[in-house]
Chains A and B, each alone.
Chain A
Amino acid sequence: MSLTLAYNIARGALASNAATASVVSRNLANAENPDASRKTALLVTDATGGVHVAGVANEVEAALLEQSLKSTSASSHSAEVAKVLQTLSAVVGDPELEGSPAALIGQFRSALQTAAASPHDTTSLQGVLSSAEALTESLNSAAELTTSTRRVAQDTIETAVGDLQSLLGAFSDLNREIVTGTALGRDVTDQLDRRNSLLRGIADLVDIRTQERSDGDMAIFLANGTVLFETSARSISFDGNAALLPGQPGSALRIDGVPQTDGESLGGKIGGLLVVRDELTLELGSQLDEIARGLIVATSESDQSASPSGPAQAGLFTYPGGPGLPASGSVAVGLASSISVNANANPALGGALERIRDGGISDPGDPRYVYNAGSLPGYAGRLNELIDGLSADQPFASSVSVSVTNGGVLAFATASAGWLEGERSTSSADSEQKRLLADKAAGAWQSEAGVNLDDELSALMALERSYQASTRLISAVNSMFDALLSAVR
């Protein structure tokens, strides 16, 4: 044991002190960075009893990170669905405002009721025509809303896929740096932090599972097992410009060659958007088409002659395929966007209002479909029949989620509004809960891995003290040398 050794130990202490202080200052600087983890200098006592910094480690609890990633993707998945349902719920609106297709059918019925009480009055027939037009316009615009929501979802998926690709590119670079850095024994903690932050970004887009190897390498899998990243990023293809055919799922998203059609299991924002594009909007669209078909059937005209031979024909409400009725029991795709009020009943388009009362809208040239042969002004039979038709039982396609056994198109439209609000209510509660979970998981990771300012400050004070002690040691050794040298002199 020599004084030189004591001197060297003190010098080493100063050096490790400085290294530790730099780690503390890095921590302090990153206190507000949610992605940063707390770094600690690893101090090692060497053979001579001195101390040096062997490396820097960060505190990442892998399980907490995994939990946080999972809950992030669940939260963004349900948030995406809830957001879109919020948009779609404009179709129904607040029941008090009475803007849903069901409420408009109700207003149409009230207009018919008014007309039935004074069938001679063309003003009341005009009222029927206007409320019928309001009804078709509302169905047209609801159909347009579902189509545009689909289109927006398609575009957003394209953007999100682009984001995913660039995130994976950045991930790939960082991963390589970490693997080489770890092999060379460099401090890679900052790169690890950045890689974790990229992981969070990826988990926001799709539900992922990670696997870390001993050399610092990381592989990413989708929750359904498809490889997303393994040494290099896997190919992701999506055609954002592909045509969206009404009633059919849009173009497929392929990851590593595997088509991802199940948005629910894909998870994340992209999964949520796939659910929106290929399930929710299609379902709502089919329901609107069924409401449109129900209206056409409910207001159809039948052969009134003594021995009826003609088929029922589309009356007040018609569509480009009229006057034949759309096939029963299956969804007529696109009907809600093409349903219109028959021009034969609209004086502005060359029709006659009286046909609403008298019948013969489907084909004014065919007397078989006229209900009120003498055009008697007080005849309310057909108007009453129209009112009853709105709530008369009729079959609806079994492929839609809404089913009504009786009550006709009015009950179907009401049930459809209930379905939409039910979905919205569930998804909004779900998204709220998932967001809380994600906040909690992120918070748990944060509080475990993040920087505590007070802790770092007290560490700084300890460092200050040990720095003072080391310098005192150096000056003590120095004065000992002085004493020794003056004794020798």
Chain B
Amino acid sequence: MTFATISSLAMWDAARTSMSRTQSQLASTSQEVSSGRHYDVGIALGTETARAINARLVIEDIDAIVAMNGVAGERLSTMQSSISAMREVANNLFTEATQAAQSDADRQHFVESARSMLATLTTLLSATSNGTYVLSGVNNLSAPVSDYLAEPPSAARSAVIAAFTSEFGIAPDDPAVSNITAAGIRTYWSGAYSALFEDPNWQSVFSSASDNPTELRIGPQEHAAYSVSANDAGVRKLYSALVAVVDAGAGEMNSDTFAALAGLVADTAGSAAADLVRSEASLGAAQSRIANANSRMQVNRSILEKVVGDLESVDQAEASTRLNNLTTQLQVSYAVTARMFSLSLLDYL
């Protein structure tokens, strides 16, 4: 008579292998409970790992773009406040020039005031942010304009004086300037003088700013460009109006001619203010695009954070339940193993 027997080794091995398996599961599960992430993300996700990596890549990209949008935003704000201050200067100049055109009484004061406005404009044009001159376009390591009133006279000032001299045959501070007629100064203004502030003279004589647009990557798929710089029409007009007061012989002119000059200055200052508003608007548009892109990216980022979380995290409640089950299971198999090993016929013989 034969009985189906089970080998003792197989019986003990069964308990042992189940114990070691439970123990290794216990180790990984307890780590999952404490970290809240899968014990081995790659194993748990398989090919889905690509999605997790991709989400993390986009998040990193968004973080970099948002940080750099901050730098760009700071630059745009600096430009904005600088241009808005220039607009103030233009408005003041307009007011003073209009008054000067009506009464010649404060001519000296007007000229002095224009000189200080010119100094202010130079300072405003040299505004910096993050170590760069914001109004120099992409040539941002050089100040857009040099000090016009510097001693010895700047190249720009020499060029203006030379233009005046070649037009009228006398220097602007010559007493004979009083012979220049209102019609003469108008011709000069619309001809040789204006040409000084047009390209290519403006860029070779006054400004070292670049017209090339500054390109920004403001979103993962979004680019913006702006080209506000010292070469903008508003800045040139304001500059030309101020320089005219300083270096077009205002000191020696007769009243009629001075009134004509002040009238031209007032017109140009008014038109400069209008152009500066346009520059402000274009900067404002870039600023609001950045703000919109930022808020879109924030939304996108929080969705992606959730994707990463959903992929890489474990359900804490489920994991801790699993941990409890495993602990119980291990205790049971300890108890069973102990009993199995105590079960031997030897003890009863």
Q: Which residues of A does B touch, CB under 8 Å? A: 31-34, 38, 89, 92, 94-96, 98, 100, 102-103, 105-107, 109-110, 113-114, 116-118, 120-121, 374, 376-381, 384, 387-388, 410-411, 414-415, 417-422, 424-426, 428-429, 439, 443, 446-455, 457-458, 461
Q: Are B223 and A384 in contact (CB-based, < 8 A)? A: yes
Interfacial chain B residues near A118, Cβ < 8 Å = 71, 130-132
Known: A110-B60, A110-B61, A450-B8. A116 touches B217 (CB 8 A): yes
Q: Are A95 and B52 in contact (CB-based, < 8 A)? A: yes
6 chain-A/chain-B pairs, Cβ below 8 angstroms: A110-B63, A113-B65, A378-B210, A419-B50, A453-B346, A454-B344
Closest Cβ of chain A: how far from B50's Cβ, in Å?
3
Interfacial chain A residues near B13, Cβ < 8 Å = 443, 446
Interfacial chain B residues near A425, Cβ < 8 Å = 42-47
* Given A96-B312, A378-B137, A421-B45, 4 further pairs, Cβ under 8 A: A103-B57, A378-B132, A378-B141, A443-B13
Q: Is B56 an interface residue (CB 8 A)?
A: yes
Q: Are B10 and A450 in contact (CB-based, < 8 A)? A: yes
Closest Cβ of chain B: how far from A451's Cβ, in Å?
5
Interfacial chain A residues near B150, Cβ < 8 Å = none
Q: Are B64 and A109 in contact (CB-based, < 8 A)? A: yes
Q: Is the interface of B mostly helix, strand, loop or mixed?
A: helix
Give the residue of B10, B43, B68, B139 whose beta carbon is less than 8 angstroms from that of A443: B10
- Write the chain B residue with the least CB distance to A382: B215
- Identify the interface centre among B50, B312, B346: most chain A CB within 10 Å of its CB: B50
By size class, the interface of chain B is 35 or more
Q: Are A428 and B37 in contact (CB-based, < 8 A)? A: no
Q: Which residues of B does A touch, CB under 8 Å? A: 3, 5-11, 13-14, 17, 37, 41-54, 56-57, 60-61, 63-65, 67-68, 71-72, 130-132, 136-141, 210, 212, 214-217, 223, 308, 312, 344-346, 349
- Write the chain A residue with the least CB distance to B138: A378
Q: Are A454 and B345 in contact (CB-based, < 8 A)? A: yes
Closest Cβ of chain B: how far from A485's Cβ, in Å?
41
- Write the chain A residue with the least CB distance to B3: A455
- Write the chain A residue with the least CB distance to B38: A94
Cα of A376 to Cα of B48 in the assembled complex, Å = 44
Cα of A379 to Cα of B5 in the assembled complex, Å = 85
Give the residue of A32, A377, A415, A461 whose beta carbon is less than 8 angstroms from that of B50: A415
Q: Are A418 and B217 in contact (CB-based, < 8 A)? A: no
Cα of A414 to Cα of B50 in the assembled complex, Å = 5
- Identify the interface centre among A106, A421, A452: most chain B CB within 10 Å of its CB: A421
Q: Are A110 and B64 in contact (CB-based, < 8 A)? A: yes
Give the residue of B41, B61, B223 whose beta carbon is less than 8 angstroms from that of A96: B41
